[in-house]
Structure 1
């Protein structure tokens, strides 16, 4: 049994009220970050109190609320590109992205980038007017080029296995296109891989005030083949050592109890 050696401070800071604001000026300032020359990768996930990454319908939308939606809009407005696993894009019904029209944002379109080992692009994106960028390995690139414009296929094979996706090279390829503010929205397997490769600068987690019981994945998980919303690696993602995180701020929605935390990993 451990002895009690760590002091505890009870912190009750003076709250700052952030009422709904179409422009979300104050909320945007809280999440503002200079990407620097190396870029900035921010992940945004929602979780239940007992750690579930989705609700009974296998969709994250069933466990979020208006408070989460406010932050979601601010983070998309600040991003250059949204990064998701192709399975997540398929399962969650992603289409070409638009920035929130009433939140101050950049003057270029918000891009969507898919990570897929297979190279398969969801049909709703193949049929759309604005094809996504596709990060994939050598074999996946051959498939992706039949489904997306060749200049949108970014082949970033891993050295140990050219059919795997080198996420570090993928992030660099996005930066080469001027897409330095990267927002990862899922799924749990992709987040696990990004963390394992030490590529995440910031993790934003909304804690939804509900419990869903056993079944749903955690927000960080090496999911087995066939898991909802994932494009998993065959061997899964190995466990990594604990990653220190520093709390930048914690928001509370008094009407519901929803908590929105911003954790810095750098």
Structure 2
């Protein structure tokens, strides 16, 4: 008998993976957390039945949420990561020597705990002295911060449960206040096949708050539809005007200097969401 996990991405569509064994299953204070070992993608973190990351394809998301903004800013020193308890985003941020401190605010400490245990190559930088981990509410942390960060990365789950407030115009406005005068923020904004309205609202809200607002994409096979978007808001720096000579080798598997620009080239149906 085979055991399969299916994430229902809509009421009539889902993706499925063969599970070798369940490593953890716990109803935390905030969500249902499961860690399973899959045959195709290795260990897989699930929150409320949704795939958050896997050993096989995690590098795509983490490289793209981190390096596009960090190479856009000429000298990022103080970075905030909201969410991202698996640790992959801070791992990528720390590849930039200009970064003096990464503050991570993760609401669910169990995500960090089980990621350290079962996703060690993703969570490998938690002991780095440049990292401050805060178990708490990212929304509240943003509201209490002002003119503090060069870059803010919103590495959240989908807009349900504890992450629902992280997709609102009020949150983006709070981010703008928490950023320095030349700051940049990036938020993951789901996929255009099933969440077109979410993307449209996110980019429109960002345009009303930031002088520069751009949408970019990547391909992640275990995320809904495989096509994933990120929304960037920047006070000064345009990611399309970065000199390619400034982009160094990050020793990654997905992000490249050429892809930095190419990721902003959108298919026509996605362009229409940004108007």
Which band: TM-score by shorter chain?
0.3 to 0.5
Higher RCO, Cα 8 Å, sep 6+: 1
Structure with higher helix content: 2
Larger Rg: 1
Structure with higher strand content: 2
Under a length normalisation based on structure 1, what TM-score does the superposition of the two structures give?
Answer: 0.33
Under a length normalisation based on structure 2, what TM-score does the superposition of the two structures give?
Answer: 0.33
